[in-house]
Structure 1
Amino acid sequence: MVDESSKLQAVDTIVSAVIDDVGAGPRELAGAFERLGLGEDEADRAADLVHRAHGESVRLRRREHEIAALFSSARELAEVRDADLLLDRLVNRAHEIMGCDVTYLSVLDPETRELRVRTTIGAVSPEFQHLLVPAGRGLVSEIVESRTARWVGRYGSYPPQRHEPTVDRAVEAEGLVSLLGVPMLTGDDVLGVLFVATRRESVFTPEQISVLSALADHASVVLQTADMLRHLRRSEDEARRALGRLTEHLAERDRANTVHQELVQAVLRGGGVGQIAKTLAAALSRTVTIVDADARVVADSAGTAANTTVALDRETAAAIERSRSSGLCAIVPGRPGRAGDAVAAVAAVTAGAEALGALILGPGDFELGPVDRRTVERAAQVCALVELQLKAVADTERRLQSGLVADILEAWRERGDDIARRARSFDVVPADLDTVHVFAVDGGARAAAERLLMRLLRGQGLVGECRGYVTAIVDSTRTTMDAGTLRERIAQHTAHPVLGVTAAPASSPAELGGRFTLAARTARLLEAIGVTGRSVSTDEYLPYASVFDADAATLTAFLDATIGAVRAYDDEKGTELLATLRAFVRCNASPTKTARLLRFHTNTVLQRLERIATILGADWRDDERLFRISLAVRLDELAHGLAGAGAGAGAGAAVSAGGRANHP
C-alpha cells in the first residue's frame, strides 16, 4: 500500500521532468510511475507523454527567449541612432540566439553586385573578416538571386560551379562546416545577407530560420534608416550649400546695387574716375587702379600718383586684351609663390573700337562672383562714359583755346577787347601774357600734348596749335614750370621726342605774334637740320633763323651745294679739310690764326687751303662766296652738336688734324 507522501513525491518527480531543463531520468520516472501504481504499459505511455511535454516546454522557453530578443532588438531600433552599433548588436544577438560558432553580415553593393562582410562575431581569421564575394559566386549570391533563405549542412558538398577560391579559403581558415543565410530585403531590393555558421555539421530548423529572418528584417531596417539618414544629410548639406550660394548671391546683388547707385551719384556730382575707383574699392574690399591706354595711372584707390606708368606683366596684359575682345571682366590666373604682386581681375575701358584704358583690381577677402564681375563691367562702362565726357569737354576747351591763341598771335591789334573778354573765361588776362613756348610734336600726338599742357598751365596761360606747332602763351610770373620741364612732360606723355623753343619775353600782347614767328622759324630751322629732344631759346639761333626759313630738303641742298664737296673729299681720302675750313671761318679767314688754333705750321694750313680751293674753286674766298660758306659751316656745326658742341667738334677735329700735319 503506497502512502500519500510517496504519491506526492512521485508527482513532483514527473512535473520536474516536464518543466526543468534537465528532467528526471528513465529510472526515476519508472520509480515514480510504480509508486503511483501504474502498470508496465501505462508507465510506458506516461513516460512518452512526459518526454513530449518536456520537449514542448523547452521549445516554448526557447521561443520565449527568441521573442524577448526580438523585442529588445525592436526597442533598440527605436532608441539607438548609430547604425554600426545597431548592426553589431543585431549580429551579436543572432549569435547568442542561434548558438552557432560564427555569425556575420554581408552588405550588397548595388552597382557591382559584390557582397562585402561588414560585421562578424566569432570569426578569427582576418581573411574572413574582410571577405569580398564577387557577383554570382558562393552561397551568398544564390541567396541574393533567390531572395530566400538557404543553408548547407556541409559546405564541401555545395555545388562546385558556385564555389569561389577566396571564399573557400576563408571558410577553410575558420573551419566552418554548416552555413545558414537569410536575405535582408526592402521592397524589391536586397540589401545584404545575415549568416550563421557552425564548425560541425548541423541541421537548421524552420524556427531558427524564422528567427534569423526576423533579425535580418531588423538589419534591413537599420540599413534603410542609415541610407535614409545619409540621403538626408546629403540633402541637408546640399541645402546648406544652396543657402550659402543664395546668401553670397544676395550679398553680391546688394553690393552691385550699392555700387550702381554710388557710381550714378559720382557721375552726377562730377566726381570723375577717381570717385569711381574709390567706390568700387570700398564695395569689393580691394584696391582698384584705373589706367589709360598707355598703362599710365589715371586714378587709384590706394593713392598712387597720377601719370605713373604701371608695369603690366604678361598675364595681366593678356587678361586686358581678353576683356577688350569680350567686353567682360577677366580673371587673371593665379601665380603660385607670387601672392604679393597679385592682380585678381581686370576690365577693359573701351568706347567702340577705341581702347581708353582698363580697371585693374587687386586681391580681396572674397572671390569675385558673377554679380561682382558684372559690377566691375558696369564700372568700366561708367569709366568709358566719364572719359568720353571729359574728352569731349577737353576737346571743346582745346578748340576754344586754340582759336584764342591764334587770335592773340595774329589779330590782337584788331580784336584785342574781344580776345581779352574770351580769355577771362579761362582765368587769364592777356595783358599779363609775355612768353611764347613753341613745341614741335609729332602730328598724331599734338592733341594729347595740348590736353596735357592745358592741365599743367591752367590759369597760368593759354595753349593751342598754331601753324603746326603746339604753342603755349604764359604769364612768366605765375608759371611754376619752365620750358625744359614742360618739354620733358610732353615727351614723357606722348612717348615721342619733342623740340621746345622759347622766345624772348614780350612787353605787350601786340609783340607776341612776332615772338611766335621767330620761335616757329627757329623750330623749323632746327627740325630741318635734324635737331630734336632739346629746349632752346630763340636768342641762341637768332642769326640763323633770321637768314633761313626753309624746310629740311632746301637746307640740305644748300649745305651740299656749298660744302658738300669738301665733306665728300674727306670721306674719300681720309683727310680733315672740313675741320680746317671750320677753324678758318672761326678765325675770320686768317691763315695765321687758323694755324695757331690748330697748332699747325702756317705752311700746312696754306697747303690745305689750296686743296680746298681746288675743290671749291679759286673764288671761294671772295666776300659773297665766303659768306655763304661761313653760314654753311656754322649750320653744319649745329647739325652735329649744337651750342658749343660744334666748336668742340671742330677743336677735336683740329687736334686730330694736327696729328696728321703732313697729310694735306
Structure 2
Amino acid sequence: MSTVNPDDGSSDSDALAVLELLAREAPSSRFDELLRTARQHPLPQERLRMLERAVRLALDVRATAEQRRRREAGLATLVDTTQELSSCTDDLDGLLHVITSHARRLLNFDMAYVSLRLPGGGSYVHKSDGETTALSVGLELDPGFGLGEYAQSKQAPFWTADYLADGRFPHSPDIDEVVSSEGLHAVLAVPLIHGGAAIGALYGASREIRHFTPDEVSLMRSLAVLSASAIEATRRRARIETGLADVQSENVRLTSALARTDRLTATQKRLMDLVLEGGALHDVTKAAAEALDGTLVLRDAEGRTLAATGELPQPGAASVVRALVDSHAAGAPVRVSGDGGSGAWVTHVTTGVEAPGTLLFRRPVVPAQHRAPDLAPAPRSPQATASAASHPAPAAALDALTEEDKGLLYATAQTLALVLLLGHSAGAAAGPARDECLEELLAGAPESPRRLSERVRRLGIDPGGQHLVLIVRPEGGKQGESAVWASSYAYRHGGLKTVRGDCLVLLIPGTDASAAARAAAGELSPLLGQPVSVGSAGPTSELSAVGKVYQEARRCLDTLVALGRTGGTASPEDLGFLGLLLSDDHDADAFVHNALGAVLDYDSGRSTDLVRTLEAYFTAGGSPTRAAQQLHVHTNTVARRLDRITELLGPHWQEPARALEIQLALRLRRAQDAVYRRPGETRRAQADREA
C-alpha cells in the first residue's frame, strides 16, 4: 500500500506513491485516500500542492487511457461488426438483426432498433433488439415526428437524455406510447445515409436518464455508416436476384411460348388438312380437343349440340349471350362468368348465313404438382417467394388459357365455321333442282305419286313424313342474304326452299306450324338485323296437298299484314277463329277442340257440367250470381266450377280475345249438336254411336 511519509521531506516519494497507484490501476478512492492521509499530517504547503497536482495528473492520465481503451474496443467491435455485416447481405431481416444487436452491445444500450424510409414519406420500425413489448416493430413514424425523422431531415445525429420530458422536437402519440411502454428515457438517433440521401435511422435507447459523450455519438454514427452501406448492398442484391429470377422466368416463358406456338401451327395445319379431306364436325372437334387437352362442345344458335368430345354443363342463356358479344368484340375466346358457367370458355362460330353458334371449352383444373414441365414456374428469389407466399395465386387460375391456347381455340371455331359453311354450300349447290321440285309441288303439277316420291327421296326428303309450309318475308329487303340463309336452313332441316317474289317458301319436316314459324323468324331476323314476317300452315303427309297448305300459309301471312302485325308469325291455330274462316276445309271440330278441348275432356271423363256452366256464365254477362240462378245451383258451386275452368284453360281465358274464341266455340258446338244429332238422341248416345 502506497502512503505519504511525512518524515521524508522529498516530494519524489510522493510522486512515486502516485505512480505506484497509477501503475496498479487503483480505483479513484485510493487516490482520494492518499490525499486525505497527506492532509492529516503536517506537510509543507508546497509539498501538499505538488501532491495534489500529481494526483490530478494521474487521474487525467488514467481517464485518457480509459477513453483510448474504450475507443479501441469500440473500433474493434466495429471491425467485427463489419465482418459480420458482410456475411449477411443475402437477408435483410438477418442483417438488421446483426445491426441492432451490435448497436446495443457497442454502447451498452437497453434497446436498439432500426427504421427504414417508406416510399410515400415517413418511415417504419423494421427491426428491434431488447424490446419488452410488441409495439415497436412495424410502428409507422409519421413525417416530422420523433428523433429519427429529425435526424434524417438534418442528416446528423440527435439525442435526448429524457425523451418524454424533452420539448425540442415534435412528439407523436404513437411513438410516446412505445417509449412509455418500454420505460425508455435516453434515446440516440443516427441517420442512415447512402448516396447523400437518408434511407432510415439507427436508434439506441436506455431505460435511465443518460448523457451521451461525443465519442459515443461518433461510434454510433460510424456503425450507422457501415449499416447503411450493408443495407443498400442487401437491397441491391435482392433487386439483382429478383431481376435475374424475372429474366429466368421470362426465358422459360418464351421457351414454352415457342413450343406452344409450334404446337399451334401444327394443330392448325392438321385441322385444315381435315377440312380439305372432307372431315366432319366431329373429326375437327376431336382433333382440337386433343390438342387443347380439354372438352369441346359445338352448339348451334338454338342450343342443339352439333359435335362434342364430352359432357359440359349448359351455361345460362344470359351468360352465353354476354360471352358471345364479348368474344365477337375481342376476336378471342371469353370465359363464361357465373350462372352455371363452371369455368367454361366460349367462342362464337359465325358462318355469315345463319345465327352464330357457340363453341364451349373447359380444361380440368390441374393441381400445381401435376402440371406439365413446360408450364412449371421459373426459380424465384427468396424475396419473390416470400411475396408469393403472402399473395398466393387462386387455384382456379391453373385452368386458365395461355394466349396460344386462346389462339388455337379461336382458330378451331373458325375451322368449324368453315366446315358448316362448306355444308351449306353443298346444300346450295343442289339449289336449282330443289327449287324446281318445290315449285312443282306448289303448283300441283301432274306427276304420278310413285315418281314424285322417288324424286323427293333423291333430294333427301321423306315422302311419307309430316311437312310444314313456311312463307318468310323479310321486312326491308336484303333478298340475297335471305336466299342464302333459306338454302342453308332448308338443307339443315332436310327440306326444300324456293323464292316467290319478295318471299321465301320453305317446306320442312315438322308437326307444329307455330313453333316452326317462330324458329325461322328467330334465326333470320337477328342475321338480317330487321324484322321478319312468317306465315305457316300444316302439317300434311300428302305431297299432293303441299299447294293447298301453301295457300293457307299465304293467307296467314296476308292476315298478319292486314292486321298491322308485320314482323310477327302466324299459323291457323295462332289466328284462332280467323284461321278457321281462312282455312280451306273450315275444320270447326279442330277449332272447338283447340278452344274447349280440356273442358270437354274433363266433362266427359268425370260427368261434370263445366261446359254448361261456361255457357251460363257468358249468357249472364260474366256474373257468377246470375249464372247460378240460371243453373239452379248455389253461387259457391259456380265459383268452384269457374276455378276448375281456370285450371283447365289457363289464367287468361277471360281476356277479351280469348273469351271471344271460347264463346264462338260454344256456339259452334251447340250448332253442331243441333245439326248432327238425331232427334231425341242425347249427346252421350251420339258420342257412343260415333265411336
Fold equivalence (TM over 0.5): yes
Out of 303, 315, 318, the position equivalent to 1:315 is 318
Give 1:247 deviation, angstroms.
5.3
Deviation per CA, 1:494-547: give whole Å up to 9, x if none. 867643445xxxxxxxxxxxxxxxx52x555677789xxxxxxxxxxxxxxxxx
Aligned partners of 2:125 and 2:138 also within 8 Å? yes
For normalisation by structure 2, the TM-score amounts to 0.56
CA-CA distance at 1:281 after TM superposition: 1.2
- Relative distance call for 1:656 and 1:72 in structure 2 (3 A) is farther
Cα drift, residue 62 of structure 1: 1.7
Q: Deviations over 1:468-512 (max 9, x none)?
A: 99999xxxxxxxxxxxxx76699998867643445xxxxxxxxxx
Instruction: State, as a whole percentage, how many aligned pairs show the same letter.
Output: 20
Please tell me whether residue 499 in structure 1 is matched to residue 539 in structure 2: yes
Which position in structure 1 is the counterpart of 2:470?
A: 442
Q: TM-score normalized by structure 1?
A: 0.58
Match for residue 93 of structure 2 among 72, 75, 84: 84
Question: 1:103·1:197 contact (CA, 8 Å) conserved in 2?
Answer: yes
User: For residues 192 and 401 of structure 1, do their structure 2 counterparts lie closer, same or farther at Cα, with a shift above 3 Å needed?
Assistant: closer
Q: RMSD of aligned C-alpha atoms?
A: 5.6
Secondary structure class of the residue paired with 1:658: coil
Deviation, 1:147, is 0.8
**Paired AA for residue 344 in structure 2:** A
Deviation of 1:25 (Å): 2.7
Change (3 A) 1:179 1:19: farther
Whether the aligned pair in 1 keeps the contact of 2:332 and 2:406 (CA below 8 Å) is: yes
Q: Deviation string for 1:188-230 (max 9, x for gaps)?
A: 2212333334455544322212111111223323432443344
After superposition, what is the alpha-carbon deviation per residue over 1:622-654, rounded to whole angstroms, capped at 9, x for unaligned? Answer: xxxxxxxxxxxxxxxxxx9xxxxx9xx889952
Q: CA deviation at 1:23?
A: 7.5
Q: Does 1:205 align with 2:209?
A: no
Q: What is the match of residue 631 of structure 2?
A: none
Whichever residue aligns with residue 90 of structure 1, its letter is I
For 1:454 and 1:441, how far apart are their aligned partners in 2? 13
Change in 2 beyond 3 A, CA 1:331/1:653: farther
Structure 1: state its 5+ residue gaps. 33-37, 305-309, 456-462, 473-485, 503-518, 531-551, 564-639, 641-645
Residues 295-336 of structure 1, C-alpha deviations (whole Å, 9 max, x = no match): 3333223399xxxxx977323541465168537234243327
Cα deviation digits, residues 398-454 of structure 1 (max 9, x gap): 5346668999998999xx9xx9xx99xx799xxxx9988895532459856863687
- Give SS of 1:368's match: coil
1:618 is matched with which residue?
none
Q: Which moved more, 1:14-23 or 1:487-496?
A: 487-496
Q: Residues of 2 paired with 1:188 and 1:263: CA distance? A: 64
**Number of the residue aligned with 2:332:** 329
- 3-state DSSP class of the match of 1:441? strand
Instruction: State the partner residue of 1:515.
Output: none
In structure 1, what is the equivalent of residue 348 of structure 2?
348
Within 5 Å, give how 1:141-156 maps onto structure 2.
141-153=149-161, 155=163
In the alignment, is residue 57 of structure 1 matched against residue 65 of structure 2? yes
TM-aligned CA deviation for residue 268 of structure 1 = 1.6
Alignment partner of 1:221 is 2:229: yes
Are residues 107 and 335 of structure 1, via their aligned partners in 2, closer, same or farther at CA, if it must alter by over 3 Å?
same
1 CA distance for matches of 2:297 and 2:311? 9
Gaps of 5+ in 2: 1-6, 39-45, 366-398, 473-484, 520-535, 554-578, 589-664, 685-691
Cα 1:252/1:166, change in 2 over 3 Å = same
Match of 1:299 in 2: 307
1:654 matched to 2:659? The reply is: no
SS in 1 for 2:677: helix
> What SS is found at the alignment partner of 2:106?
helix
In the alignment, which residue of structure 1 is the partner of 2:193?
185
Find the aligned partners of 2:91 and 2:327 in 1 and give their Cα distance: 58
Q: What is the match of residue 264 of structure 1?
A: 272
2:105 match: 96
Separation of aligned partners in 2, 1:471 and 1:40 = 141
Distance 2:98 2:580 in 1: 109
Cα distance 1:553–1:130, how it changes in 2: closer, same or farther (>3 A)?
Answer: closer
1:372 is the counterpart of 2:405: yes
Shift of 1:148: 1.0
Write the distance in 2 (CA, Å) between the matches of 1:557 and 1:498: 12
Q: Which moved more, 1:184-193 or 1:77-86?
A: 77-86
The one-letter code of the counterpart of 2:422 is: Q
The whole-number CA distance in structure 1 between the counterparts of 2:356 and 2:98 is 75
CA contact (8 A) 1:115 1:133 kept: yes
Alignment check: 8 A CA contact 1:438 1:471 kept = no
Structure 2 distance, partners of 1:229, 1:315, is: 52
Q: How does 1:113-512 map to 2 (within 5 A)?
A: 113-114=122-123, 116=125, 118-121=127-130, 124=132, 133-153=141-161, 155=163, 158-159=166-167, 162-168=170-176, 170-171=178-179, 176-198=184-206, 200-232=208-240, 234-235=242-243, 238-239=246-247, 242-243=250-251, 245-246=253-254, 249-250=257-258, 252-302=260-310, 313-319=316-322, 321-322=324-325, 326=329, 328-335=331-338, 338=340, 342=342, 344-352=344-352, 354-355=354-355, 357-365=357-365, 366-400=399-433, 439=467, 441-444=469-472, 447=487, 451=491, 498-502=538-542
2:85–2:98 contact (8 Å) kept in structure 1: no
User: 1:387 and 1:100, CA in 2 relative to 1: closer, same or farther beyond 3 A?
Assistant: closer
In structure 2, do the counterparts of structure 1 residues 245 and 167 end up closer, same or farther at CA, with 3 Å as the change threshold?
same
Change in Cα spacing, 1:407 to 1:233, as seen in structure 2 (3 Å) is same
Q: What is the match of residue 510 of structure 1?
A: none
Cα distance in 1 for partners of 2:511, 2:108 equals: 103
Q: 1:384 to 1:167 in 2, by over 3 A?
A: closer
Q: Is the 8 A contact 2:332 2:407 kept in 1?
A: yes
User: Residues 399, 323 of structure 1: CA spacing in aligned structure 2 closer, same or farther, 3 A cutoff?
Assistant: farther
Matched, 1:17 2:30: no
- Shift of residue 108 of structure 1? 3.6
Cα drift, residue 77 of structure 1: 0.7
Instruction: Give the deviation of 1:237 after TM superposition.
Output: 5.6
**Max radius of gyration: which structure?**
1
Q: 1:260 and 1:148, CA in 2 relative to 1: closer, same or farther beyond 3 A?
A: same
Is the Cα–Cα contact under 8 Å of residues 349 and 383 in structure 1 kept in the other structure? yes
**Inter-CA distance 269–117: structure 2 relative to 1 (3 Å threshold):** closer
How many angstroms apart in 1 are the aligned matches of 2:307 and 2:541?
32
**Offset at 1:255?**
3.8
Please state how far the C-alpha of 1:139 moved relative to its aligned partner: 3.2
For residue 120 of structure 2, give the secondary structure of its aligned residue in structure 1.
Answer: coil
Judged with a 3 Å threshold, the aligned counterparts in structure 2 of structure 1 residues 659 and 66 are, in CA distance, closer, same or farther, namely same
Residue 269 of structure 1: how far off its partner (Å)? 1.0
Q: CA deviation at 1:266?
A: 0.9
User: 1:334 corresponds to which letter in structure 2?
Assistant: S
Instruction: Give the match's secondary structure for 1:191.
Output: strand
**How far is the alpha carbon of 1:135 from its aligned partner?**
2.2
Letter in 1 for 2:408: T
Q: How does 1:525-540 map to 2 (within 5 A)?
A: none
1:71 to 57, 66, 79: 79
Distance between the aligned counterparts of 2:91 and 2:467, measured in 1?
88
CA–CA distance in 1 between the matches of 2:109 and 2:584? 122
Q: Is the 8 A contact 2:152 2:200 kept in 1?
A: yes
**3-state DSSP of counterpart to 1:190:** strand
Equivalent in the alignment of 2:118: 109
Which SS does the other structure have where 2:350 is aligned?
Answer: strand
Give the secondary-structure state (helix, strand or coil) at the position aligned to 1:346: strand
